[in-house]
A = this chain, B = another copy of it.
Amino acid sequence: MTSPVRAYHHGDLRHALIGEGLQLARTGGPAAVTLREATRAVGVSPNAAYRHFADRDALVRAVAREAQLALAAAITSRVSATPAGLSPAEAAIERLRRVGLAYIDFARTERGWFETAFFTQDTHANDGIVTLDDEIVAPFRLLMDTLDAMVDAGALAPDRRPYAEWACWSAVHGFADIAVHGPVRWQPASVIDALAASVVESAITGVRGTPDAPGS
């Protein structure tokens, strides 16, 4: 679109740095997204970054937000592929299952992004009161909607809805973390798949209060 080479002004350095940061984070996690490497890759002096980010941390946070969106996209894609032909209740449960499995798969296939998405340094702590909604990330909102839909479809008793999002997110996020960092890490993929499925089923059972009826 614009002229290919600009001598001085880059034009959109901020997004270029975020893009480069995403590439670095993808293979090396949040620690790999370094100010000097990102600016070097873009072909700009290290200090140029300071015109667009207050801090290295600000860059990492911007990259983290993108990684969160990538996670949300992966979940949405998997949920959208839910097959037709199920009863409303079955479909709602199947969607919740897909949210969990997509979350875990993303952590395993895009480990660097997953780590980056949940990287937080405790700066910006007391900048006023932080309401929960301010920091709700895209994947979490997807989970909330899915659970609400389960209630609407009669797949989840309304009195079991409160706090259900935390139980689900905890189980899935915890397993994702363990599968990426913990002792499961070296197991063959097929074993991890089985464990993931088991954990997700257990989480669904825990939330609904009763195991799903077996069958196809």
Contacts and interface: CB of A to CB of B under 8 A. Distances in A.
A140 B195 CA distance: 16
Contacts of A203: 167, 170-171, 202, 206
Contacts of A118: 177, 181-182
B210 A206 contact: no
B171 A178 contact: no
A198 B163 contact: yes
Q: So how many copies of this chain end up in the complex?
A: 2
Contact of A135 (B132, B173, B183): B183
Contacts of A206: 171, 202-207
A137 interface: yes
A169 interface: yes
A209 B207 contact: no
Interface in A159-216: 162-164, 166-167, 169-178, 181-184, 186-187, 194-195, 198-199, 202-207, 209-211
Give the residue among A167, A170, A175, A211 with the most B Cβ atoms within 10 A.
A170
Interface residues of A, number: 43
Contacts of A7: none
A130 interface: yes
Contacts of A162: 198
Name, among A130, A169, A183, the residue most crowded by chain B CB atoms within 10 Å (CB to CB).
A183
A120 interface: yes
Nearest to A163: B198
Contacts of A167: 171, 198-199, 202-203
A136 interface: yes
A30 to B, nearest CB: 11
A192 to B, nearest CB: 10
Interface string A101-135: 00000000000000000101000000001101001
B171 A132 contact: no
Nearest to A174: B174
